[in-house]
């Protein structure tokens, strides 16, 4: 299977450093081996580093030792980062993810990070978001290319299946570690992965291909939708923010979508449904001389928090990071 597209090649060729997020599990082992094969073929292996995160739990040192030994066998640069996870309401996984993202942001400028997400991960993500409640952007799933600080993430295996990954590793007698916490179905994503998705696959065999098509279609639809909203934002912007008078000319739903995208473009937290209802009530249904202030942040802290104010008939945004 071709996993490096033409548009990926420029990212790889122009990157100063290439990191593969490497836990030692099946997916990241496959990603590391395949990327080494490709970089060998274009004589860029010297750019490659396997980046491991040690979370400091019972299995962490064993996993790190395995990863270090595997990289020594393949003559791949190996780097391990210790993570001290501090949970403050968002849950361990979300807190650990935030720590990892901060490390990725701190990597040398012009780094490209390769991650091993595959089509089964895409199914899991789309289903999880639908169950929690999502919109067009959420249904578009895991993006193939994403920014993290000044660096970029590339996920070249999103059309590969877990079955094929395991088959490749077995055929080539490549060892990997297994995190037994992934079998704990008290976690929602594990429940989907272990209990729900296998039943869906038994009934609908083409689910991987169909979800892949769905994410591609909704991604294009969302880009079209956002172009329309960006035109609205440009019409409504002044030097400080968005004009209240202009926003009031829109219906409530369009107004909420404009505000969400405006905040998203500013790389700050975006309001959930209940927070948006409060924004609507406070800024657009209250008396004109009111000066409301609404403050919110993401529970996983992957974006800085935001404070919305009305100043001189303009909706103004201020960042905060507590």
The strand pair at 293-296 and 305-311 is best described as antiparallel
Q: Do 102 and 243 reside in the same domain of the chain?
A: no
Of 172, 195, 212, which one is at a domain's C-terminal end?
212
Q: Is residue 221 part of a domain?
A: no
Write down the pLDDT at residue 4.
Answer: 86
For residues 259 and 167, what is the distance between their CA atoms, to the nearest angstrom? 47
Are 122 and 161 contacting, i.e. CB atoms less than 8 angstroms apart?
no
Q: Do 50 and 196 reside in the same domain of the chain?
A: yes
pLDDT in tens, 96-106: 788 888 899 99
- In the annotated binding site, the residues are 23-28
- DSSP alpha helix (H) spans, 15-161: 26-41, 60-74, 92-105, 119-132, 136-139
| Structural Rg of the chain based on CA atoms | 22
Write down the pLDDT at residue 170.
Answer: 98
Burial class (CB in 10 A: 0-12, 13-18, 19+), 122: buried
In this structure, the dihedral spanned by the alpha carbons of residues 50, 91, 256 and 135, taken in order and rounded to 10 degrees, is: 60
- List for the chain the helix, strand, coil content (%; round to 5): 50, 15, 30
Q: Do 111 and 41 reside in the same domain of the chain?
A: yes
- In the annotated binding site for ATP, the residues are 23-28
Q: Is residue 122 part of a domain?
A: yes
Q: Is residue 259 part of a domain?
A: yes
Write down the pLDDT at residue 290.
Answer: 75
Q: Is residue 291 part of a domain?
A: yes
Q: Do 185 and 314 reside in the same domain of the chain?
A: no
pLDDT in tens, 205-251: 999 999 999 999 999 999 999 999 999 999 999 989 999 999 999 99
Q: Do 241 and 192 reside in the same domain of the chain?
A: no
Write down the pLDDT at residue 246.
Answer: 96
Write down the pLDDT at residue 86.
Answer: 72
Q: Do 151 and 297 reside in the same domain of the chain?
A: no
Of 212, 247, 281, which one is at a domain's C-terminal end?
212
Q: Do 257 and 301 reside in the same domain of the chain?
A: yes
Q: Residue 165 sits in a domain of what CATH number?
A: 3.40.50.620
The total number of structural domains in the chain stands at 2
pLDDT averaged per 10 residues in sequence order, the chain, 322 residues: 82 96 97 96 96 89 96 97 75 77 93 97 96 91 93 96 97 94 89 96 96 97 96 94 95 96 92 92 82 82 85 91 63
Write down the pLDDT at residue 154.
Answer: 97
User: For the residues of 101-127, what is the DSSP string, one character each?
Assistant: HHHHHTSPTTEEEE----HHHHHHHHH
Q: Is residue 266 part of a domain?
A: yes
For residues 257 and 263, what is the distance between their CA atoms, to the nearest angstrom? 10
For residues 158 and 116, what is the distance between their CA atoms, to the nearest angstrom? 8
Write down the pLDDT at residue 57.
Answer: 81
Q: Do 298 and 161 reside in the same domain of the chain?
A: no
Domain enclosing residue 112, as ranges: 6-212
Q: Is residue 300 part of a domain?
A: yes
Q: Is the entire prediction scored with pTM above 0.85?
A: yes
pLDDT in tens, 137-146: 999 999 999 9
Q: Do 204 and 249 reside in the same domain of the chain?
A: no
Write down the pLDDT at residue 71.
Answer: 98
């Amino acid at each position: 299977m071709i996993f490096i597209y033409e548009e990926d090649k420029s990212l790889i060729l122009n990157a100063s450093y290439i990191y593969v997020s490497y836990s030692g599990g099946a997916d990241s082992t496959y990603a590391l081996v395949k990327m080494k094969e490709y970089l060998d073929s274009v004589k860029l292996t010297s750019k490659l580093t396997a980046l491991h995160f040690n979370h400091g739990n019972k299995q962490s040192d064993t996993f790190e030792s395995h990863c270090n030994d595997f990289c020594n066998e393949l003559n791949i640069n190996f780097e391990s980062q210790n993570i001290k996870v501090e949970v403050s309401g968002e849950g361990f996984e979300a807190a650990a993810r935030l720590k990892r993202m901060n490390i990725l942001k701190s990597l040398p400028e012009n780094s490209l990070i390769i991650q091993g997400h595959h089509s089964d991960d895409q199914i899991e993500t789309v289903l999880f978001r639908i169950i929690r409640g999502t919109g067009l952007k959420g249904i578009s799933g895991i993006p193939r290319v994403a920014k993290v600080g000044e660096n970029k993430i590339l996920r070249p295996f999103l059309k590969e299946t877990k079955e094929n990954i395991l088959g490749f590793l077995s055929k080539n007698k490549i060892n990997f570690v297994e995190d037994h916490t992934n079998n704990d179905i008290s976690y929602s994503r594990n429940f989907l992965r272990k209990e729900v998705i296998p039943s869906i696959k038994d009934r609908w065999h083409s689910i991987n291909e169909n979800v892949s098509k769905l994410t591609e279609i909704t991604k294009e639809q969302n880009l079209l939708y956002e172009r329309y909203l960006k035109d609205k934002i440009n019409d409504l912007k002044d030097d400080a923010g968005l004009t209240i008078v202009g926003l009031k000319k829109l219906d409530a739903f369009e107004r909420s979508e404009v505000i969400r995208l405006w905040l998203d473009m500013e790389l700050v937290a975006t309001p959930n449904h209940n927070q948006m209802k409060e924004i609507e009530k406070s800024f657009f249904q209250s008396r004109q001389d009111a000066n409301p202030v609404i403050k919110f942040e993401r529970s996983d802290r992957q974006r800085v928090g935001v404070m919305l104010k009305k100043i001189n008939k303009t909706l103004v945004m201020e960042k905060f990071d507590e």
